[in-house]
């Protein structure tokens, strides 16, 4: 049997972190003949979802396999524990299982391809010590972009600047990261906003680990040179300790959505080319009841065609329970569905986003600016309306609007609510062919699509970088 390099992959506990890891593995297997084993952590209250299992099953065989780690328990935690904290704790409480599995994989090298490296999600950095103790080379896979990576590399310095503030949003001056646009403190990663919190301390620990480079051979970044050339160059020039930075993006989902028929796709087939605005806030994004109402009226007033993915709001009006048989559509304004019938389509909870963005009738994307969604818009050349909610999304919005100029961003009022008139104005600006601002954004996104295709081409920057990474892993077999 031909011997190949074997890597173990530990994604975070959220599917948004699993998807890019699966696609990275797919490329390493299909194009570089590597062998990949996924270690999947979970908890009793959040077992692996059917979507996650389907995604893992889509990986090419026989060079891939999946090991589901024993679920951990959170029975000892307060019921109000944040989901971000639980994601990190899922990994830290799985460390004994991770150690056991990795040791078995090392001991079985006589019958399987030799294990040469361990790839950990940025939320799974605690596991690096396990790999280090077993003598396994480790890499961090950063599923978002270079500007977010730069923020984490410089968080210890930011912490010093913010020493007299409890919240980064209160910083009086913009934060200037090398090679990045200036960020207001409130635009930085939501998990680091409260300097007093447990999550902040966890991220600061992660940042210091990155800066030291201890137990890390390299960092794989889901971005590409053409969109973040200055940020990537700055990271590489700073040497980032002894680490190598591997920008290999755009890595977007390619499997798992093509085996079903969807009403929204049939509806799109009947619409004019480039005429539909797709509205979605990602796998976990929700709006308040008031904001959902303003969004609905804004879409209606705009007069544009749309597909809108709707979830139950994160706040409810006093009488919302009477609408429960129609959830989540029951939270929309009375008569909205009837008034927009034919021009708009509302989809409850989830839509096959990859296929929607790739459809010829889709001409715009009102997005929460999650990085996976952002890359999907790049690959398909779909211009954006930036509506960030949490995590690194506000940083992404700054990149999209101010640096790349491929997105428009509606303005919120002093209470943080984006009013219907503002929404209608921005939607019309993006989708109306006669609007000069929207036309410029659409043209720049077309150029960006070409750049994404080029990066992944035979001699593209990301293709060369992934080849370099795979070659490095293969040389470890002989060593």
Read off the pLDDT of residues 44-76 as tens digits, 9 standing for 90 and up: 888 888 889 999 999 999 999 999 999 999 888
pTM: 0.92
Q: How far apart are CA 469 and CA 316, in angstroms?
A: 49
Mean pLDDT of all residues in 1-16: 82
* Percent of the chain predicted with pLDDT > 70: 94
What pLDDT band is residue 319 in, cutting at 50, 70 and 90?
A: very low
pLDDT score, position 259 = 57
Q: How far apart are CA 191 and CA 199, in angstroms?
A: 6
CATH number of 6-254+457-478: 3.40.50.2000
One fold for both 6-254+457-478 and 263-453? yes
Helices (H) and strands (E) in the chain, counts: 17, 13
Mean pLDDT of all residues in 2-26: 88
Mean pLDDT of all residues in 419-433: 97
What pLDDT band is residue 325 in, cutting at 50, 70 and 90?
A: very low
What pLDDT band is residue 1 in, cutting at 50, 70 and 90?
A: very low
What pLDDT band is residue 114 in, cutting at 50, 70 and 90?
A: confident
Beta partners for 121?
Answer: 141
pLDDT score, position 305 = 98
pLDDT score, position 122 = 87
pLDDT score, position 15 = 81
CB atoms within 10 A of CB 54: 13
Q: Which of 6, 35, 121, 154 is catalytic?
A: 121
pLDDT score, position 243 = 82
Q: How far apart are CA 198 and CA 202, in angstroms?
A: 6
pLDDT score, position 320 = 38
Mean pLDDT of all residues in 292-315: 95
pLDDT score, position 65 = 95
The answer to whether the beta carbons of residues 140 and 220 sit under 8 Å apart is: yes
Mean pLDDT of all residues in 427-444: 95
Q: Quick one: CA dihedral 278, 359, 357, 401, positive or negative? A: negative
Q: Is 121 a catalytic residue?
A: yes
Q: Which of 17, 35, 154, 359 is catalytic?
A: 17
Q: How far apart are CA 441 and CA 433, in angstroms?
A: 11
Decide if pLDDT at 2 tops 80. no
What pLDDT band is residue 318 in, cutting at 50, 70 and 90?
A: very low
Mean pLDDT of all residues in 290-314: 96
Q: Domain extents for the chain?
A: 6-254+457-478, 263-453
Q: Whole-number mean pLDDT of the chain? A: 91
Q: Is 107 a catalytic residue?
A: no
What pLDDT band is residue 193 in, cutting at 50, 70 and 90?
A: very high
Closest Cα partner for 47 from 67, 17, 68? 68
Mean pLDDT of all residues in 349-361: 94
Name the CATH superfamily housing domain 263-453. Glycogen Phosphorylase B; (3.40.50.2000)
Q: How far apart are CA 222 and CA 21, in angstroms?
A: 10
Q: How far apart are CA 241 and CA 158, in angstroms?
A: 18
Decide if pLDDT at 448 tops 50. yes
Q: Which tokens sit at 385?
A: 């309306």
Q: What is the pLDDT of residues 19-43, one digit of tens each?
A: 999 999 999 999 999 999 999 999 8
Between helix 50-57 and helix 15-32 the angle, nearest 10°, is: 10
According to DSSP, the β-strands at 115-121 and 6-10 are parallel
Q: Which tokens sit at 406?
A: 């491929």
Mean pLDDT of all residues in 216-229: 95
Decide if pLDDT at 256 tops 60. no
pLDDT score, position 283 = 80
DSSP for 293-327, please give it.
HHHHHHHHHHT-EEEEEE---SS--TTGGGGGGGT
Q: Tokens 């992404």 label which residue?
A: 396
pLDDT score, position 255 = 59
Helix H segments across 386-435? 393-398, 420-431
Beta partners for 120?
Answer: 10, 140
Q: Quick one: CA dihedral 214, 217, 223, 228, positive or negative? A: positive
Decide if pLDDT at 148 tops 90. yes
Decide if pLDDT at 339 tops 80. yes
Q: What is the pLDDT of residues 449-478, one digit of tens each?
A: 999 999 999 999 999 999 999 999 999 886
């Amino acid at each position: 049997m031909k011997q190949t390099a074997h890597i173990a992959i530990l994604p975070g506990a959220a599917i948004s972190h699993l998807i890019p890891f699966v696609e990275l593995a797919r490329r390493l297997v299909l194009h570089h003949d590597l062998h990949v084993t996924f270690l999947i952590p979970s908890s009793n209250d959040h077992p692996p979802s059917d979507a996650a299992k389907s995604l893992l099953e889509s990986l090419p065989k026989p060079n891939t396999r999946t090991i589901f780690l024993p679920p951990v328990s959170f029975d000892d935690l307060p019921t109000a524990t944040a989901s971000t904290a639980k994601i990190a704790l899922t990994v830290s409480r799985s460390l004994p299982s991770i150690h056991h599995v990795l040791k078995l994989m090392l001991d079985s090298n006589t019958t399987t391809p030799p294990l040469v490296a361990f790839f950990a999600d940025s939320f799974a950095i605690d596991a690096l010590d396990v790999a280090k103790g077993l003598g396994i080379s480790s890499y961090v896979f950063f599923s978002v972009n270079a500007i977010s990576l730069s923020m984490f590399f410089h968080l210890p310095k930011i912490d010093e600047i913010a020493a007299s503030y409890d919240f980064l949003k209160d910083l009086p001056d913009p934060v200037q990261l090398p090679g990045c646009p200036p960020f207001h403190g409130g635009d930085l990663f939501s998990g680091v906003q409260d300097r007093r919190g447990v999550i902040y301390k966890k991220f600061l620990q992660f940042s210091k680990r990155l800066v030291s480079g201890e137990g890390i051979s390299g960092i794989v970044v889901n971005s590409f040179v053409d969109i973040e050339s200055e940020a990537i160059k700055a990271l590489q020039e700073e040497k980032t300790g002894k680490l190598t930075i591997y920008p290999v993006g755009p890595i977007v989902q390619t499997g798992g959505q093509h085996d079903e028929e969807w009403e929204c796709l049939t509806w799109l087939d009947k619409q004019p080319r480039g005429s539909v605005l797709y509205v979605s806030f990602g796998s976990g994004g929700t709006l308040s009841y008031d904001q959902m109402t303003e969004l609905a009226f804004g879409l209606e007033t705009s007069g544009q065609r749309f597909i809108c993915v709707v979830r139950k709001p994160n706040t409810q009006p006093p009488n919302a329970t009477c609408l429960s048989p129609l959830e989540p559509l029951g939270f929309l304004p009375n008569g909205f569905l009837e008034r927009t019938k034919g021009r708009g389509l509302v989809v409850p909870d989830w839509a096959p986003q990859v296929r929607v963005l790739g459809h010829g009738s889709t001409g715009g994307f009102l997005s929460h600016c999650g990085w996976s969604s952002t890359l999907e818009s790049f690959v398909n050349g779909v211009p954006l309306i930036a509506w960030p909610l949490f995590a690194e999304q506000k940083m992404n919005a700054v990149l999209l609007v101010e640096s790349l100029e491929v997105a428009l961003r509606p303005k919120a009022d002093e209470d943080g609510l984006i009013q219907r008139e503002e929404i209608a104005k921005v939607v019309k600006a993006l989708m109306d062919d006669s609007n000069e601002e929207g036309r410029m954004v659409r043209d720049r996104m077309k150029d960006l699509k070409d750049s994404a295709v080029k990066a992944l081409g035979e001699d593209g920057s990301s293709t060369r970088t992934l080849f370099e990474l795979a070659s490095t892993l293969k040389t470890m077999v002989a060593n």
